[in-house]
Amino acid sequence: MRPNVNQRLAIARCVICVGPGGVGKTSTSAAVAIEAARRGRRTLVLTIDPAKRLANALGLPEIGNEERLIDPSAFTRQGLAPPTAPLSAMMLDIKRTWDEVVTRHHPDPERRQRLLENPLYVAMSTALAGSQEYMAMEKLHELSSRTHDPLDLIVLDTPPANHAVDFLEAPNKIIDALDNDATRWLLEPYHQKKKLTKKLFDAGSSFFIRTISRFTGTELLTDLGELLAGFQGMFDGFRARAEAVRKLLAADTTDFWVLSTPLQADEAQDFWARLSERDLLVAAVVLNRATPDPYDGAGPADPAALLAAIQRAGGSPELAQRVVAVTQQMATQAAAERARAEVLRGAVAGTPVILVPQRPEDVHDLVGLEALRQGLFG
């Protein structure tokens, strides 16, 4: 029988929360990290959420690309038990992470500096499609392989995705975009002249490139050529780290949590199927923001008795009727969502499916995270 989430959290080295936007990945990631740290595991949660909700929820003024330890007193001030192991948080800064990767791994100091100052690199490192996912992978590799203050568990909050494979395929897409036959063809004039500072598009360049330059400007194409040339010598490292992360994701100590809502149960099943096709371990499917059952699963109360009880408490007949109508509607919706979750349980081959009730307000503090943690782990 597949281990439950409590058993998996005791042995997992990495938990990766995936799903579409707006389903509670950031809050769930934080709740999982708190649970692990409460169990004595040195834990770090890495978020990509630029809204900084995680910082507010964890009692931090801000979170950035530098790791921030969570002060245990933030929990005690809220009347909550603090973690028994250090818990820290980071928010991925795409531009800074790109710069760190180039600075750490580029083999040539002079070309490295030119690359960092290239206008197209500055734009690419923040706006290129897939950059966020790829830099999350680079940061995951850095954190998982560090030797100082080694981590027992990394919890990764991934970018919103329409499909589970969007996150997984980002490294290959970025590498292929920077290193393929087309870019090598574009770089040929550089390799022939052996001088990056010399104009790429002189009389010896191809007729096609000279034609393009009339419309785009030689300066832009020169920047592009220098950008691509600047990455030369780094591709083997890119591929090696991407392969290391692929092995990490496929390890039996890496758990994927699929996040969705009851209304998006079909989407959750699709995420589960795509991850399972790649032999990746899905430890849980979480359906956040489920409709609370006003009768707590005990079945609807007698409407006449409920009406009478509300009126005895001082409510008007009109108020009593509205309350009864709302509770019956909520009970019907909750029952439908439980049925949808049961169908999903049958489709995901024993993977735990967890329904987490909708809270009156969004999670914005440790008290809200504690309620979410209890919903996830009981």
Q: State residue 180's pLDDT score.
A: 55
From first to last of its 378 residues, the chain has per-residue pLDDT tens of: 566 899 999 999 999 999 998 899 989 999 999 999 999 999 999 988 766 667 777 877 778 888 999 999 999 999 999 999 999 999 988 889 999 999 999 888 888 898 898 888 888 787 776 778 888 888 999 999 999 999 999 999 988 887 777 778 876 776 666 665 545 544 455 445 444 434 444 444 444 444 444 444 445 666 777 777 777 778 788 888 888 888 999 999 999 999 999 999 999 999 999 999 999 999 999 999 999 988 776 665 677 777 777 778 877 777 777 877 888 888 889 999 999 999 999 999 889 999 999 888 778 889 999 999 999 997
Rounded to whole angstroms, what are the CA distances from 20 to 50, 77, 109, 349, 376?
Answer: 16, 34, 40, 22, 19
Work out whether strand 87-91 and strand 68-69 pair parallel, antiparallel, or are unpaired: antiparallel
Contact yes or no for 344/268 (Cβ under 8 A): yes
Three-class SS state of 356: strand
Return the residue matching tokens 């083999």. 107
Contact yes or no for 340/267 (Cβ under 8 A): no
pLDDT (tens digit, 9 = 90+) per residue, 21-75? 889 998 999 999 999 999 999 999 998 876 666 777 787 777 888 899 999 999 9
Three-class SS state of 287: strand
Q: How far is CA 361 from the centre of its chain?
A: 22
CA dist., res. 16 & res. 170, Å (int): 15
Q: How far is CA 168 from the centre of its chain?
A: 11
**Could you tell me which residues come within 8 angstroms of residue 276 by beta carbon, excluding any fewer than 6 positions away?**
282, 349
Rounded to whole angstroms, what are the CA distances from 343 to 93, 146, 354?
Answer: 39, 42, 13
Contact yes or no for 303/324 (Cβ under 8 A): yes
CB atoms within 10 A of CB 32: 28
Rounded to whole angstroms, what are the CA distances from 161 to 72, 169, 338, 358?
Answer: 33, 12, 25, 22
Q: State residue 204's pLDDT score.
A: 42
Contact yes or no for 46/353 (Cβ under 8 A): no
Sign of the torsion angle spanned by Cα atoms 247, 233, 116, 215: negative
CA dist., res. 263 & res. 261, Å (int): 5
Q: How far is CA 83 from the centre of its chain?
A: 23
Closest CA to 282 of 291, 292, 274: 274
pLDDT (tens digit, 9 = 90+) per residue, 132-150? 888 888 899 999 999 999 9
Q: State residue 220's pLDDT score.
A: 62
CB atoms within 10 A of CB 84: 12
Query: Going from the N-terminus, what domains does the chain have, and what CATH number goes with each?
Result: 5-166+248-294+350-377 (3.40.50.300), 180-230 (no CATH)
